[in-house]
Structure 1
Amino acid sequence: MSIYESIESTDSRRHLQLRSPVTLEPTGELICANKEDVDAAIARARAAQPAWAALSYKARAEVLYRALKIVVAKTDEIMETVVAETGKAPADALSMEVFSVADSLCYYAKNAGKFLKPHKRKVHGVLGFAKELRITYKPLGVIGLITPWNGPFVLVMNQAAQALMAGNAVVAKGSEVTPYSAKLAESIFKEAGLPDGVLQVLLGDGATGAAIVEGGVDKISFTGSVATGRKVAESCARQLIPVTLELGGNDAMIVCGDADLDRAADGAWLGSCMNTGHYCCGTERIYVVESVYDEFLAKVLEKGQGLKQGSEHGNDESIGAVFWDKQMDIIESHVEDAKTKGATVHMGGQRNPDLKGLYYQPTVMTEVNNDMDIMVHETFGPVLCIQKVRNEAEAIKLANDSEFGLNGNVWTQDKEKGYQLALQIDTGSCSVNDMAVSYGIPAAPFGGRKNSGVGQVNGEKGLKGYCHEMPVVIDKRGGKMPNAYPYKAETIDGMKKFMNILWVKTPIGRWLS
């Protein structure tokens, strides 16, 4: 049974029947914004943006600080909305969707003005005597923001906060699987005093998102699948507008012979199963050096006993529902393919037979390899795939044998060794003795290599990505323009002699650079 399905409508908009992944019961009807709705939203954003951009960073920050207080006050409401739409464990909803949002709002409210403050930059060489260079950061205008179902509140709030602090207006669309979690962002910012039209969250499906991409915005920030990301990139390239793409992952975990195995086993479970495994930088491949393989596997299996699954456990639930029936199909397909090709299932390996909804048991598999879909493609589910390797060099080789490169993690009690191994992994970011925490640290730029994406979000770089970095060059000396028309032969001769003195016969040019 599908989490959403088309139903007949009497107007020009697409209507979808939504269902709970926990109970599979109908939860309501979604009316999708059409092209006319999208165009109207973009027009409102275009009209509202100049006044918002004219405000000081301090004034914009005050809106974010008020939004922060509202988020904390509405913690239970946000959690309930997210859990109702996704079926994720309450602890995941709190940490991913509430705490991280509050932290992000505070960070950008405090730091955006510092990061984006106009400043002077030294002009090198002889031009430094005559020219002054100032750098300013101008908002791009209207940002199109398209986010998926796995982090329906946080992914709208985090990117919107950056774009708004940079002075842009935002037209966003969350997934049709989790529309009302995304819509919370608009209502919270509106309550915080954000002017009308500056942030609009539209309800809709893929066609709604396509209308935003083609709607004449000034940048697209997209999080989602590789296939859809390619289409978005092609559209943006044709329109000559910037785009950031945060796409899929198949992240590797490397357990060294000197690792703290208790901590590593905890990290394997959390990295693989947090958010039901539905996050792009989740651990999907675990490579363990053979000297500690047996002990590590034993600890993993021990720690996996008694994990609670199902909404009846309330806040004690560890592994939530699979958010979307299409993702359940992928998880089941990958596990069955691995079993057929010789993988060993130590626990789990199937849907939870005791629960009505979309629940897949936390699963541990060994004897896996790159002939199996589960080690090559993104599974996005609560599955630990553990492979024995001879040494760390083999682990690095296998970690890099992937079309993806979003995140990774290394486990060793030698921090410098961990750092050096992390540098050898061809990935967008990496953690040492922790699972994927880089997205949760606002100061860390986040983005992928290879098929995992284009560009980076978050931190100072993410903020500046929502701006045009505009240089303004000011003449300091005045007077007659050097090298003005008409050109003369003696001027060329004089320039050649000057170049020789500057860079060949003396070190003056190097001193001035």
Structure 2
Amino acid sequence: MAIYEPIESSDSRRHLQLRSPVTLEPTGELICANAEDVADAIALARRAQPAWAATPIRERAKVAERALQLVLERQDEIIDTVVAETGKARADAMSMEIYSVADSLCYYAKHAEEFLKPRKRRVPGIMGIAKQLHIRYKPLGVVGLITPWNGPFVLVMNQAVQALLAGNAVVAKGSEVTPYSAKLAETILRDAGLPEGVLQVLLGDGETGAAIVRGGVDKVSFTGSVATGRKVAEACASQLIPCTLELGGNDAMIVCADADLDRAADGAWLGSCMNTGHYCCGTERIYVVASVYDEFLRLVLEKGRQVRQGNQHGWAEDVGAVFWDRQLAIIEAHVEDARARGATIHQGGRRNPDLHGLYYEPTVMTDVDNTMDIMNHETFGPILCIQKVADEEEALRLANDSEFGLNGNVWTRDKDKGLRLAAAIDTGSCSINDMALSYGIPTAPFGGRKQSGVGQVNGKKGMRGYCHEMPIVVDRFGGKMPNAYPNSAESAEGMRKLMDFLWRKTPLGKWLA
């Protein structure tokens, strides 16, 4: 039974029947914004943006500070909405949708002025005697933001607050799987004092998102699948507007011979099953050095017997429901392909027979290899795929044998070795002795390599990415321009002598640089 399905309507908008992934019961009707609605929203954003851009950054930051307090005050409402739409464990909702949002709002409110203040930069070379360089960070205008269903509140809030504090207006769309969790971002920020039209979160489906991308915005920030990300990139390229794309992953975990195996086994479970495995930086491939493989597997299976699933556990639930029936079908197909190709299923490997909704049992499998879909493609589910390797170099080679490159993690007691291996993994970021954390650290620029994305978000770089970094060159002294017309052979000879003096006869040019 589908989590959403079209229903007949008497107007020009698409209507979808929504269902709970926990009970499969109907939860309401979604009316999707159409192309006209999107055009109206972008027009409103265009009208609202200049006044918002003219608002001092300190005043913009105060909106984020008030939003932080509202998130804390209304956290139960936010968690209830997210859990109702996704079926995720309440602890996952708390950590991803409340703590991460609060941390992000606090960080950007504190540092926005520092990141965006006008700057002077020294002009190198002899030109620096006569010229000054000023840098201004100017908002791009209206930003289109498209976010997925796995972090429906946090992914809108985190990107929107960066774009908003940079002085932009934002027209956003969350997933049709989780529309009302995304809509909460607009409610919170409006209640915090954000002017009308500066952030609009539209309810809709893929057609709504396509209308935003094609609607005349000044940048698109997209998080989602590789296939849709490629379409977004093509649309942005045809309009000559920038985009950032955070796409899929198939992250590798390397367990070295000197790893703390107990901690690594905990990290394998958390990295693979947090958020029901619906985590772009989730661990999907685990490579374990042969000398510690048996003990690591023993610990993983021992810990797996304690994992709890089902909302009857309340706050003690570890692994929630699969959020979307289409994702469940992918999980099942990947597991069955691996089973048919010789993988050994030690735990799970099926829908949970004791639960009514979209629950897939936390699964441990071994005897996996790169002939299997589950090792080549993004499964996005609560699956631990463990492969024995001869040594760390083989683990590194297999980790890099992927079309994806979002994140990874290395487990060793030797910090220098950990840093060497982490730097050698061809991914956007990496963690040592922990699951993938970089997205949750606001100072860390976040983005993928290869099929995992284009550009980076978060931190100073992410906020400035919502601006045009404008250089302004100022002449210091005035007077007659030394290179004014007319040109002459004498002036050309003078330029040759100057270059020879700067970079051949003396070290002055290098010193001035």
Q: Under a length normalisation based on structure 1, what TM-score does the superposition of the two structures give?
A: 1.00
Matches within 5 A, 1:248-397: 248-397=248-397
Q: Distance in 2 between matches of 1:445 and 1:483?
A: 43
Where does residue 67 of structure 1 map in the other structure? 67
Q: Distance in 2 between matches of 1:141 and 1:353?
A: 51
Task: Tell me the CA shift for residue 415 of structure 1.
Answer: 1.0
Task: Tell me the CA shift for residue 438 of structure 1.
Answer: 0.4
Where does residue 440 of structure 2 map in the other structure? 440
Q: Distance in 2 between matches of 1:418 and 1:173?
A: 39
Q: Distance in 1 between matches of 2:497 and 2:195?
A: 60
Task: Tell me the CA shift for residue 306 of structure 1.
Answer: 2.5
Matches within 5 A, 1:10-25: 10-25=10-25
Task: Tell me the CA shift for residue 48 of structure 1.
Answer: 0.3
Task: Tell me the CA shift for residue 308 of structure 1.
Answer: 1.1
Where does residue 150 of structure 1 map in the other structure? 150
Where does residue 97 of structure 1 map in the other structure? 97
Where does residue 459 of structure 1 map in the other structure? 459
Matched to 2:477, the amino acid is R
Where does residue 119 of structure 2 map in the other structure? 119
Task: Tell me the CA shift for residue 271 of structure 1.
Answer: 0.1
Deviation string, structure 1 residues 245-303 (Cα, Å, up to 9, x no partner): 00000000000000000000000000000000001100000000000000000000000
SS state at 2:200 partner: strand
SS state at 2:201 partner: strand
RMSD of Structure 2 on Structure 1 (CA): 0.4
Q: Distance in 1 between matches of 2:217 and 2:501?
A: 51
Deviation string, structure 1 residues 169-210 (Cα, Å, up to 9, x no partner): 000000000000000000000100100000000000000000
Task: Tell me the CA shift for residue 482 of structure 1.
Answer: 1.1
SS state at 2:482 partner: coil
Q: Distance in 2 between matches of 1:483 and 1:277?
A: 64
SS state at 1:387 partner: strand
Structure 1 unaligned segments of length 5 or more: list them.
none
Q: Distance in 2 between matches of 1:374 and 1:314?
A: 31
Matches within 5 A, 1:154-165: 154-165=154-165
Where does residue 509 of structure 1 map in the other structure? 509
Q: Distance in 1 between matches of 2:180 and 2:58?
A: 30
Matched to 1:403, the amino acid is E
SS state at 1:322 partner: coil
Matched to 1:457, the amino acid is V
Q: Distance in 2 between matches of 1:253 and 1:117?
A: 40
Matched to 1:440, the amino acid is G
Where does residue 190 of structure 1 map in the other structure? 190
Q: Distance in 1 between matches of 2:312 and 2:265?
A: 27
Q: Distance in 2 between matches of 1:108 and 1:306?
A: 38
Matched to 2:179, the amino acid is P
Matched to 1:420, the amino acid is R
The percentage of aligned residue pairs carrying the same residue is 77
Matched to 1:389, the amino acid is V
Q: Distance in 1 between matches of 2:235 and 2:19?
A: 32
Deviation string, structure 1 residues 414-454 (Cα, Å, up to 9, x no partner): 11110110000000000000001100000000000000000
Where does residue 129 of structure 2 map in the other structure? 129
Are 2:33 and 1:2 equivalent residues in the alignment?
A: no
Q: Distance in 2 between matches of 1:162 and 1:115?
A: 11
SS state at 1:248 partner: coil
Matched to 2:415, the amino acid is K
Q: Distance in 2 between matches of 1:328 and 1:361?
A: 11
Q: Distance in 1 between matches of 2:35 and 2:381?
A: 34
Task: Tell me the CA shift for residue 307 of structure 1.
Answer: 1.2
Q: Distance in 1 between matches of 2:109 and 2:374?
A: 41
Where does residue 482 of structure 1 map in the other structure? 482
Where does residue 78 of structure 2 map in the other structure? 78
Are 2:181 and 1:181 equivalent residues in the alignment?
A: yes
Matched to 1:82, the amino acid is V
Deviation string, structure 1 residues 336-393 (Cα, Å, up to 9, x no partner): 0000000000000000000000000000000000000000000000000000000000
Task: Tell me the CA shift for residue 483 of structure 1.
Answer: 1.1
Matched to 2:35, the amino acid is K
Are 2:54 and 1:57 equivalent residues in the alignment?
A: no
Matched to 2:208, the amino acid is T
Where does residue 235 of structure 1 map in the other structure? 235
Q: Distance in 2 between matches of 1:483 and 1:256?
A: 63
Task: Tell me the CA shift for residue 112 of structure 1.
Answer: 1.0
Task: Tell me the CA shift for residue 83 of structure 1.
Answer: 0.2
Matched to 2:435, the amino acid is M
SS state at 1:492 partner: helix
Matched to 2:376, the amino acid is V
Q: Distance in 1 between matches of 2:155 and 2:505?
A: 57
Q: Distance in 2 between matches of 1:428 and 1:261?
A: 25
SS state at 1:473 partner: strand
Q: Distance in 1 between matches of 2:137 and 2:123?
A: 18
Q: Distance in 2 between matches of 1:305 and 1:452?
A: 33
Q: Distance in 1 between matches of 2:231 and 2:349?
A: 34
Matched to 1:357, the amino acid is G
Q: Distance in 2 between matches of 1:129 and 1:463?
A: 32
Matched to 1:219, the amino acid is K
SS state at 1:469 partner: strand
SS state at 1:365 partner: strand
Q: Distance in 1 between matches of 2:377 and 2:335?
A: 12
Deviation string, structure 1 residues 22-45 (Cα, Å, up to 9, x no partner): 000000000000000000000000
Q: Distance in 2 between matches of 1:307 and 1:296?
A: 17
Q: Distance in 2 between matches of 1:376 and 1:459?
A: 31
Matched to 2:353, the amino acid is P
Q: Under a length normalisation based on structure 2, what TM-score does the superposition of the two structures give?
A: 1.00
Q: Distance in 1 between matches of 2:349 and 2:177?
A: 25
Task: Tell me the CA shift for residue 213 of structure 1.
Answer: 0.2
Deviation string, structure 1 residues 106-160 (Cα, Å, up to 9, x no partner): 0000001101111100100000000000011000000000000000000000000
Task: Tell me the CA shift for residue 64 of structure 1.
Answer: 0.3
Q: Distance in 1 between matches of 2:423 and 2:307?
A: 34
Q: Distance in 1 between matches of 2:172 and 2:415?
A: 41
Moved more, 84-93 or 298-307: 298-307
SS state at 1:337 partner: helix
Matched to 2:495, the amino acid is M
SS state at 1:170 partner: strand
Q: Distance in 1 between matches of 2:155 and 2:401?
A: 29
